[in-house]
A and B are shown apart, each in its own frame.
Chain A
Amino acid sequence: MAIDLFIPMDATALALGADEVVEAIQQAAKKAKADIRITRTGSRGLFWLEPLVEVATPEGRIAYGPVTPEDVDGLFAAGFLQGGKHDLRIGKPEDLPYLKQQHRVTFARCGITDPVSIPDYLAHGGYKGLKNALGMERADIVKAVADSGLRGRGGAGFPTGIKWQTVLKAEADQKYIVCNADEGDSGTFADRMIMEGDPFLLIEGMTIAGLAVGATKGFVYIRSEYPHAFAQMNRAIEAAKLAGYLGDNIQGSGKAFHLETRLGAGAYICGEETSLLDSLEGKRGMVRAKPPLPAIKGLFGKPTIINNLLSFAAVPTILDQGADYYRDFGMGRSRGTMPLQLAGNVKYGGLIELAFGVTLREVIEAFGGGTLSGRPIKAMQVGGPLGSYLPYSLIDTQIDYEAMAAAGGMLGHGGIVVFDDTVDMGAQARFAMEFCAVESCGKCTPCRIGSTRGVEVIDRILAGIDRQKNLNLLDDLCDTMRDGSLCALGGLTHMPVQSAVKHFGADFNRPPGAAAPRQAAE
């Protein structure tokens, strides 16, 4: 019988050479006349170990990583097909503390199953939530989601149940379900991992949303920077159609749900929900004034549920295991689990799904192992490019919506980016303004013009020209952008900028032309 191997086709694993490893293993197996079968999975999210090769043995899966093509002959010589000893042998992945200490709910299957095999999905507990939902009244499905305490995972943390309730109550001949898979925040990749590693989970969650509010059509809007995820989503949708999980008659219920993908075109602002809807309609991605809410007048003017991918991905568990099961994770008003994404200058970066309430220190130091460079941590940016830069002294902040806000930050989509002491916070503040200028949709003057002025003012501060006067000007500019912007791009750019000035004042007060610290340090 063939020996089963599991090797990710996740984008990061591919970027680290997973395809080349697959090729080398196939060749070596041929030479050794070994009968093997390779399944391409998603990633478990332990990215420093990618490409991670897992072998099915009688004791369970044994992992080796990070594997390069050059390691393959040695692995065969060591008998890795039988789980043999080798320097790269990690043992059972689920015994690794990094995985063992997580609460994998949304990511329970990611990295384990064949992402586009319906039988595999079913064998690992998939489509149980949908099965329950098919036997429930609409209002009861919405109530389960509300009772779970789920809050939107896209950034704002709005209660998902309330949004669904609004769409349920809206009267219309057509309603839509839209998944926001624009995932533009630097330091985030959880949406991508689900699309590549467990796409049926999203399809199931969106299908349940459709049943809940009587919407028969859905769209997944995927950023163009994710070509692998886009291709994988399309494969999964085709497989779900063939198996009767999408279409006019879902599993013989007489209920319809159709799903299509759309590709973004490199605009960060299209992650903002109303801009995304305009983009889906084939227009420029301009932010719409609210009200009307998308729940009342959304895609093509129809009532629309638009949620982040992780919000939809939490739904199958809620419908399968019950609202209480999900709710019992977490603390205060932050319920359930949060897939955190640890990135930047960190030794063990990856996907860390935990109940709300751990501290940044636990994530960055216990899981992350500190910086990759081995140098001290200087700053952490949580919640994407519009999130504050926090100094090391705030590393004991708890990770939930309220505690992060109290520390002057935000949780956002759960990205945590670590910087060591060579980072120049003046440059980071300048970048935040530049990013806003490049990505502004152009609707509001404070955002469009203010951000460009902001770059100039920061340049003058860093050049030592009228420092105090320009620092005051920067504050005024930040206030104007905060108060005069329609959406959070212009409205939150002050967060990274002002937090950098507040916590890292010395970086704005160096002698002009002083060498960038990174170079000075090396």
Chain B
Amino acid sequence: MTTQASWNQDSARQIIAGKKKLDGALLPILHALQAHFGYVDEAAVPLIADELNLSRAEVHGVITFYHDFRRHPGGRHVVKVCRAEACQALGAGMLEQHAKKSLGVDYHGTSKDGSVSLEQVFCLGNCACGPSVMIDDKLHARVTPQRFDSLIGKLKGGR
């Protein structure tokens, strides 16, 4: 399971310092912050802006442009359901409905017990064996509604 640190100014500074020399450092920094904290805290914006010599508005604009970056803490696990055509051809539409219903949330929502955030994704490169679901960084193929429930069950069980 993913254990995520709670927001901490000093670790954030360290993470930023570690990446700021890269060409086009902003995305690598945001990815690193999100990997560490599970989201990109508002308080990171001025820190990044200072280090990269950007305006806060520019940093904010980048964070909001990309679907990947969360601005608030999510669930302990992120479940991404593929909505794209090759998976649709194998019943992704039904799987989506099932996922929303069984977790009791819509996309970008987090289940009541805080265990799972649900996200949509457009293709995971597993198009020959859909429907596809990614849980944290683990990919799953041929996910039927039953299989979805058992995967989610394991997440909730293994807290």
The chain A residues found within 8 Å of chain B, CB to CB, are 11-12, 14-16, 47-48, 50, 183-189, 192, 219, 224-229, 260, 262-268, 279-285, 300, 341-346, 349-350, 372, 381, 385, 415, 417-420, 423, 427-428, 431, 435, 438-439, 518
How far, in angstroms, from A417 to B28 measured CA to CA in the complex?
33
- Complex interface: chain A residues within 8 A of B22 (CB): 260
Of chain B, the residue at the smallest CB distance from A379 is B89
Q: Is B7 an interface residue (CB 8 A)?
A: no
New A-B contacts (5) at CB < 8 Å, excluding given A187-B127, A343-B128, A439-B122: A12-B126, A183-B125, A282-B26, A284-B65, A343-B130
- Contact partner of A12 (CB less than 8 A), chosen from B84, B90, B128, is B128
Q: CB-CB contacts of B7-34 with A at 8 A, as 1s and 0s?
A: 0000000000000001111111011000
Q: CB-CB contacts of B61-102 with A at 8 A, as 1s and 0s?
A: 110011111000000000000011111111101100000000
Q: Count residues on chain B whose CB falls below 8 Å from chain A CBs.
A: 47
- Complex interface: chain B residues within 8 A of A16 (CB): 129, 141-142
Q: Is the CB of B127 within 8 A of A14?
A: no
Q: Is B121 an interface residue (CB 8 A)?
A: yes
How far, in angstroms, from A32 to B122 measured CA to CA in the complex?
45
- Complex interface: chain A residues within 8 A of B86 (CB): 186-187, 343-344, 415, 417
Pick 28 A–B contacts, CB within 8 A, sort by A.
A14-B138, A15-B126, A15-B139, A50-B129, A186-B84, A187-B84, A189-B127, A225-B124, A228-B139, A260-B23, A262-B24, A265-B27, A265-B66, A279-B24, A280-B23, A281-B23, A282-B62, A342-B128, A344-B127, A344-B130, A350-B128, A372-B90, A385-B122, A415-B127, A417-B86, A431-B85, A435-B122, A438-B122
In the assembled complex, the CB of B66 is this many whole angstroms from the nearest CB of chain A, namely 4
- Complex interface: chain B residues within 8 A of A183 (CB): 125
Q: Is the CB of B127 within 8 A of A188?
A: yes
Q: Is the CB of B25 within 8 A of A186?
A: no
Q: Is B123 an interface residue (CB 8 A)?
A: yes
Q: Is the CB of A189 within 8 A of B85?
A: no
Q: Is the CB of A224 within 8 A of B68?
A: yes
Q: Is the CB of B66 within 8 A of A266?
A: yes
Q: Is the CB of A344 within 8 A of B129?
A: no
In the assembled complex, the CB of B154 is this many whole angstroms from the nearest CB of chain A, namely 13
How far, in angstroms, from A284 to B66 measured CA to CA in the complex?
8
- Complex interface: chain B residues within 8 A of A428 (CB): 85, 88
Q: Which of B28, B126, B137, B142 gathers most chain A CB within 10 Å?
A: B126
Of chain A, the residue at the smallest CB distance from B143 is A15
Q: Is B36 an interface residue (CB 8 A)?
A: no
How far, in angstroms, from A188 to B90 measured CA to CA in the complex?
15
How far, in angstroms, from A342 to B89 measured CA to CA in the complex?
12
Q: CB-CB contacts of B101-138 with A at 8 A, as 1s and 0s?
A: 00000000000000000000111111111101010011
In the assembled complex, the CB of B105 is this many whole angstroms from the nearest CB of chain A, namely 18
- Contact partner of B123 (CB less than 8 A), chosen from A225, A265, A346, A419, is A225
The chain B residues found within 8 Å of chain A, CB to CB, are 22-28, 30-31, 52, 58, 61-62, 65-69, 83-91, 93-94, 121-130, 132, 134, 137-142
Q: Is the CB of A285 within 8 A of B66?
A: yes
Q: Is the CB of A189 within 8 A of B28?
A: no
Q: Is the CB of B125 within 8 A of A418?
A: no
Of chain B, the residue at the smallest CB distance from A284 is B65
Known: A16-B142, A265-B69, A282-B52. A225 touches B85 (CB 8 A): no
- Complex interface: chain A residues within 8 A of B138 (CB): 14
- Contact partner of A345 (CB less than 8 A), chosen from B26, B90, B93, is B90
- Contact partner of A423 (CB less than 8 A), chosen from B28, B89, B125, B141, is B89
Q: Is the CB of A345 within 8 A of B68?
A: no
In the assembled complex, the CB of B132 is this many whole angstroms from the nearest CB of chain A, namely 7
In the assembled complex, the CB of B157 is this many whole angstroms from the nearest CB of chain A, namely 18
Known: A15-B139, A186-B84. A267 touches B125 (CB 8 A): no
The 5 closest A-B pairs by CB, nearest first: A349-B128, A282-B26, A186-B84, A344-B89, A265-B66
Of chain A, the residue at the smallest CB distance from B65 is A284
Known: A186-B122, A282-B25. A263 touches B31 (CB 8 A): yes
In the assembled complex, the CB of B27 is this many whole angstroms from the nearest CB of chain A, namely 6
